[in-house]
Structure 1
Amino acid sequence: MRKINYKDITNQQLIDVRTQHDYQAGHLKNSLNLNPGNFKTYATYYLDLNQPVIFIVGSEEEGHLEELSESANELGFNQKNGYLLIDEVPKEDLQTTETILAEDFLNKSDDFILLDVRHPDEITRPAPEKNLVNIPFEDLVNDYQSLDTSKQIFTLCGSGNRSTAAASFLESKGLNPKVIEGGMKAIQEIGK
């Protein structure tokens, strides 16, 4: 996979494969956060197989490039793919994803949407019911328009990986979601 210069990015699909926390701290606008573990599962829901993909990596993810390239080929991406080192992107060109502590979320009294992106079959720890909307992450690409965008959207999953991915997608659609840090695991810990 060839290394891409930041200045050479035009209309390629940007997939940031760094951890949720690294992504939240600073990422390129319109990049989708799919880590190496969930790229193969969700890429075809969100990406056009006929458009080139650029993987955005930090030094920790460089070792996954061969695996990501193989996964992209197996999924049928037929354009030349490349990668970009996030450290080579000017800091002023990065944006952040807002997060909220689970305890602060649970204390909210205003109107909002709690978007649970877990699939119903995997929900063993039920989410708080107030303003709850369940749209599995794989369906969000088609169903996000059903969300009331006049309300603050908080994304939730089991631990925070998919909720960060969901927030990255919603950001690309012009929304300003907040990720509940630690997901249901953190919410459950507070309830103990």
Structure 2
Amino acid sequence: MFVHKIKSDGLAHLSYLVGDGAEACVIDPRRDCDVYIRHARERGAQITHIIETHRNEDLVSGAPILSQQTGAKVYHGPNADGEVVYATTTKEGDEFQLGNMCLRILETPGHTYDSISIAIYDQELEKGAVGVFTGDALFVGDVGRTDFYPEQSEKVAGLLYDSLQKLMQLGDQTIIYPAHGAGSVCGNDMANREFSTIGHERENNSRLKIKSREEFIKEKLDEHHYIPQYFSLMEHLNLVGGSEIDKVLIPKPFAPGRFKPDLADWLLDVRSVTSFGGAHVPGSISMPQDMISAFAGYFLSESDSIFLISDHSDQAEQASRQLARMGFDNIVGRLDGLVGLSTTGAKIKSLTFVDAECVRKRVNSSKDNWVLLDVRSKDEFEQGHIDGARHQYVGHIKSCLGELDAHKEYTVMCGSGARATIAASFLQANNFKNVDVFLGSMGAWKANK
């Protein structure tokens, strides 16, 4: 009997290959799904079942693709927001036998109406679940967000409370296997570890300590989450089924002499923020490779063409893989570094970084034409900010661009300077002439009081 976790970095997505003997099941597969077939073969097992715990909002499901490759049947929970054309509906109490492993379906709505959890039973034991795949209902240290149905917010929060009580009844010995870890946008306070039990969560998870259903609903309604615009694309693709991912994800390299800024709708610079600050192509957007999953979906649309500026092919491949998992496949090429480009006489820009002392002087001078733009989340801003700072979440910079005066001077800040560089690069690309970044941002400000 085995449970093998497969993590997709960036999205902090957790999927699982589980089974016993010659039969295996995949829980919540990602789009690039060859990894499941490879691991199953290494164990001498065949993938016979695929189960989705819920409608994924943040990535393209690999379930229909894996089904085509293996012949395994896909199962999805009831009450989906539309017909999941590639799946068969599974309901409360359904069981799937894999050797001595039995997978039993629990309906656990709240995060979405179609959410299910999957309890693991070892038939050699008399009673008690061994583990449970909780999807986005229960995480390590947190529970799922319930803001996808704004007009029914109280109802779905109450449904999640009821679902969590059902999970608690599995017993303290039960190991939990969630669909996401820390860094996912599907929760606020996930622990920075990926192992726990029902008993541990019962004692330590702040949301599970709430005993009143009414209080739980109130707490959930008071939460604040952001919804990237690409979530609607994911919801559509995960009803009709996404296409197979390209086998080769290394974008075509362009020689510096062939590069032109108008090669694509977006020039995404996936190098570090300091590399971008030192030198970048005019009009390009800083989107560090390890931040693509969190923020690219606020800027890109499905049909947009993308050109990557990277340090090397491995970085470009990782960036392409993360974009593909989110449904952004139209990557037309890449440029490795800017040294070669600079020798062609092409235009190169820089982005100025300033320190805490400089920002403090600007704050004290009260310049009318200067704006300190804080692009952290609403929760972060409300927990503490620099007096006089204007808040504008980085993910909303594109949609709220018209609310900012391009003739003013901007210093952009966040927690460390990384999100600020993304926002500042977008402003700079949209003809904001006087923009710099507070490197170190809130961390530096607190350290230099």
TM over 0.5: yes
Equivalent in the alignment of 1:90? 342
Q: Tell me, what secondary structure is at the counterpart of 2:412?
A: strand
Determine whether 1:127 maps to 2:385: yes
Which stretches in structure 1 are left out of the alignment for 5+ residues? none
Identity within the alignment, %: 24
Counterpart mapping for 1:98-177 below 5 A: 98-108=352-362, 109=365, 110-111=367-368, 112-123=370-381, 126-130=384-388, 132-175=389-432, 176-177=434-435
Q: Tell me, what secondary structure is at the counterpart of 1:69?
A: helix
CA distance in 2, matches of 1:159, 1:88: 30
CA 1:45–1:63: 2 relative to 1, 3 Å: same
User: How far off its partner does 1:151 sit?
Assistant: 2.3
Which stretches in structure 2 are left out of the alignment for 5+ residues? 1-249
CA distance in 1, matches of 2:374, 2:318: 29
Residue type at the aligned position of 1:118: R
Bigger fraction of residues in helix? 1
Q: Which has the higher contact order (CA 8 A, sep 6+)?
A: 1
2:309 touches 2:334 (CA, 8 Å); kept in 1? yes
Equivalent in the alignment of 1:186? 444
Instruction: Report the structure number with the largest CA radius of gyration.
Output: 2
CA 1:23–1:46: 2 relative to 1, 3 Å: same
Moved more, 89-98 or 37-46: 89-98
Residue type at the aligned position of 2:447: E
2:320 touches 2:331 (CA, 8 Å); kept in 1? no
CA 1:80–1:21: 2 relative to 1, 3 Å: closer
User: How far off its partner does 1:123 sit?
Assistant: 4.0
Cα deviations across residues 91-129 of structure 1 (Å, max 9, x unaligned)? 652100122221111112122111100011234762211
Cα deviations across residues 23-45 of structure 1 (Å, max 9, x unaligned)? 00100011000111111221121
1:125 touches 1:184 (CA, 8 Å); kept in 2? no
CA distance in 2, matches of 1:65, 1:20: 15
1:118 touches 1:137 (CA, 8 Å); kept in 2? yes
CA distance in 2, matches of 1:125, 1:22: 31
Equivalent in the alignment of 2:332? 81
Residue type at the aligned position of 1:19: S
Equivalent in the alignment of 2:296? 43
State TM-score, norm by structure 1. 0.89
Q: Tell me, what secondary structure is at the counterpart of 1:128?
A: coil
Q: Tell me how large the CA RMSD over aligned residues is.
A: 1.8
1:27 touches 1:95 (CA, 8 Å); kept in 2? yes
Equivalent in the alignment of 2:254? 4
User: How far off its partner does 1:81 sit?
Assistant: 3.3
